[in-house]
Structure 1
Amino acid sequence: MNKIKTGILIVLLAAVCFNSYGQGAKSLKINEVLTKNTENFQDDYGQRNAWIEIFNSSFASVDIRSCYLTNDKRVLNPNLSIEERVSMMYTIPKSDVLTEIAPRQHLLFWADNRPNRGTFHLNFALDSVASNWIALYDANGKTLIDSVTVPANIPANFSYAREADGSHHWILKGGDANNYVTPNTNNQTQDKQEKIDGFRKHDSAGIAMAIIAMSIVFGGLILLYVSFRLISAISVKLAKRNAMKTRGITDKKEAKEKAIGAESGEIFAAISLALHEYQDNVHDIEDTILTINRVKRNYSPWSSKIYTLRQTPKN
């Protein structure tokens, strides 16, 4: 029993590690960074600060808790201990349920050097003029998940972002209605549906759409009709087969009953007589069998020789 409990505990711990710190954490990407914020997105305190967007590129939820964010390049020193490296990073708390990132979704961190404001406020700020190196480390404090070097002199309210969520190509976003900054949302947004617009252009009256819709409806009805006919035919065949089997079993039972009652009365009389003779165990009427029955005789003094008068009387 103890071995079973230990095995279950190991499996649960492995599942937790897999979900939070294993291959799931490797799917996290630094997706977009804004270093100088004067007119852009506001935080939960109504302040405009630099921000870092994390993207979950997998199709499963990933919890970023216990991972680390930093802009200090000293952590790249391989001679540092885990404790020394962790002291130069921001530890994402474990107790906040909002640290779980849904599949293909984003999470925003504010680089305002005010960690006392909440989970998503980092303990470092970004330089709005010089270049910034940003890194995301796994919960062990050693494994580098992702990093990016943001160029220097990025204009205010412009962001340095991946062209598409999780892609390898980085671009500068902002200042254009078709290439705007996208905090906490997809880096590429579709404002137009090219296929729908093309269909609307070539079928402005909607005649083709009506024909397609009616064809789909009638096609579905025809498929349902054919399906019901096939199902009913199969059901009738199965019912007939079961009826034939049931009838065959009934005929066999009736034949057996008829066969049992077909014997003549002489046969039953002979069987009854044989059973009677067997139970009574009397064979005196038979010529070749001698039956000896033991007769119990009661003792009587009149039958004893000592009481007879055969002895000579004394004078």
Structure 2
Amino acid sequence: MINKKIGVLLLFVVLFSFGANAQRAASMRINEVLVDNEDNFVDDYGKRHPWIELYNTSAGTVNIAGCYLTNDKNNPKKYPIPKGDVLTIIPPHQHTLFWADGEPNRGTFHVNFTLDPATDNYIALYDADGRTLIDEITIPAAQKADVSYGRVIDGQDEWAQLTKVTPSTNNLTLDSNEKIENFKENDSIGIGMTVTAMAVVFSGLFLLYIIFKQVGKFAIAASKRNAKKAAGTASGVSADAGEESGEIFAAIATALYEMSDDNHDVENTVLTIRKVARTYSPWSSKLYGLREVPRK
């Protein structure tokens, strides 16, 4: 019973993964094709061949490994995109390039068919099941050399010949900026730009001056308030000084007297006799220096 549950769970995971992968692969589009490459982009071998650009229109990553590219409506599995190459993982709104050189042994992005400029070229992208068509396009014959055929805007429906070939990048390129062109037309020598730049700089300096001035005023006012508070506190302390009553002084004097009396209550009853030792010498004795006063 447990094995059956595990088997059903694994089958569900596989089917879910396959369905999610198919849904992601469905967002891929054939975006641009160069049939006649005479003097254009070269491959990783330095050779010029026709190429096919795919574009991821979704906001999620798409792995196209296992899908199929073909130029034959009767053979949708003509070129299976190999698995195991990390470059088949296409980030959101990014491009990848396949070389139609008929040499698949050169790598993942070299298909096993070529394109002929003299005839219509059918190109299709099939999902991993080999039956679900993701995208297809027929390139008209007689394409000019080094002029690609692609969508005017990446992933959109409108196709046209693109005079600017854009392999692995956006098909719509801006040759100029309307705002810059208008600026050049109205200010050809740049006086307006100079005046504008100087006005911006001086306006910024003036604004900084105002800010610093206001901050300085605020700091000075705060300093004055603090000084007044300190002066008021000091005057209050000095005003309170000298207001002590006589009782406080009497108590202090009594305490001092008691403390001084305690220091001598033992010493005043002790008699200390210190013996003075002197060296005796007859020369220093007064006895020998006394003379009897003569009587008359």
TM over 0.5: yes
One-letter code of the match for 1:109?
Answer: F
Matched, 1:38 2:27: no
Residue pairs, 1:91-240, within 5 angstroms: 91-173=80-162, 179-198=163-182, 204-205=190-191, 206=193, 207-208=195-196
CA RMSD in angstroms, aligned pairs only? 3.4
Q: In the aligned structure 2, how far is the partner of 1:169 from the partner of 1:216?
A: 49
1:176-228 per-residue CA deviation (whole Å, 9 max, x = no partner) reads xxx31111111112243333554576674544456668889969xx9xxxxxx
Sort the Cα spacing of 1:10 and 1:38 in 2 relative to 1 into closer, same or farther, 3 A.
same
Tell me, what secondary structure is at the counterpart of 1:160? strand
Sort the Cα spacing of 1:210 and 1:21 in 2 relative to 1 into closer, same or farther, 3 A.
farther
Tell me, what secondary structure is at the counterpart of 1:135? strand
Matched, 1:69 2:69: yes
Sort the Cα spacing of 1:216 and 1:153 in 2 relative to 1 into closer, same or farther, 3 A.
farther
Tell me, what secondary structure is at the counterpart of 1:55? strand
Sort the Cα spacing of 1:213 and 1:56 in 2 relative to 1 into closer, same or farther, 3 A.
farther
Sort the Cα spacing of 1:74 and 1:16 in 2 relative to 1 into closer, same or farther, 3 A.
closer
Could you tell me which residue of structure 2 aligns to residue 14 of structure 1?
A: 16
Overall identity of the aligned pairs, in %: 50
Q: In the aligned structure 2, how far is the partner of 1:12 from the partner of 1:199?
A: 59
Q: Which runs of at least 4 in structure 1 moved beyond 2 Å after TM superposition?
A: 1-17, 190-219
Q: In the aligned structure 1, how far is the partner of 2:198 from the partner of 2:13?
A: 56
Could you tell me which residue of structure 2 aligns to residue 277 of structure 1?
A: none
Tell me, what secondary structure is at the counterpart of 1:195? helix
One-letter code of the match for 1:130?
Answer: T
Q: CA deviation at 1:5?
A: 10
Sort the Cα spacing of 1:213 and 1:6 in 2 relative to 1 into closer, same or farther, 3 A.
farther
Task: Tell which deviates more after alignment, 138-147 or 203-212.
Answer: 203-212
TM-score by length of 2: 0.60
Could you tell me which residue of structure 2 aligns to residue 78 of structure 1?
A: none
Q: CA deviation at 1:162?
A: 0.8
Sort the Cα spacing of 1:193 and 1:91 in 2 relative to 1 into closer, same or farther, 3 A.
same
Tell me, what secondary structure is at the counterpart of 1:21? helix
Sort the Cα spacing of 1:194 and 1:4 in 2 relative to 1 into closer, same or farther, 3 A.
farther
Q: In the aligned structure 2, how far is the partner of 1:62 from the partner of 1:13?
A: 17
1:247-287 per-residue CA deviation (whole Å, 9 max, x = no partner) reads xxxxxxxxxxxxxxxxxxxxxxxxxxxxxxxxxxxxxxxxx
Sort the Cα spacing of 1:7 and 1:152 in 2 relative to 1 into closer, same or farther, 3 A.
same
Q: CA deviation at 1:21?
A: 2.2
Tell me, what secondary structure is at the counterpart of 2:105? helix
Q: In the aligned structure 1, how far is the partner of 2:14 from the partner of 2:60?
A: 18
Q: In the aligned structure 2, how far is the partner of 1:216 from the partner of 1:47?
A: 57
1:148-199 per-residue CA deviation (whole Å, 9 max, x = no partner) reads 00000111111111111111111112xxxxx311111111122433335545
One-letter code of the match for 2:116?
Answer: D
Could you tell me which residue of structure 1 aligns to residue 47 of structure 2?
A: 47
Q: CA deviation at 1:51?
A: 0.5
Sort the Cα spacing of 1:169 and 1:4 in 2 relative to 1 into closer, same or farther, 3 A.
same
Sort the Cα spacing of 1:37 and 1:5 in 2 relative to 1 into closer, same or farther, 3 A.
same
One-letter code of the match for 2:101?
Answer: D
Matched, 1:90 2:91: no
How many equivalent pairs are there? 204
Q: In the aligned structure 1, how far is the partner of 2:179 from the partner of 2:10?
A: 52
Q: CA deviation at 1:9?
A: 8.3
**Higher Rg of the two aligned structures:** 2
Task: Tell which deviates more after alignment, 205-214 or 37-46.
Answer: 205-214
Q: In the aligned structure 2, how far is the partner of 1:29 from the partner of 1:36?
A: 21
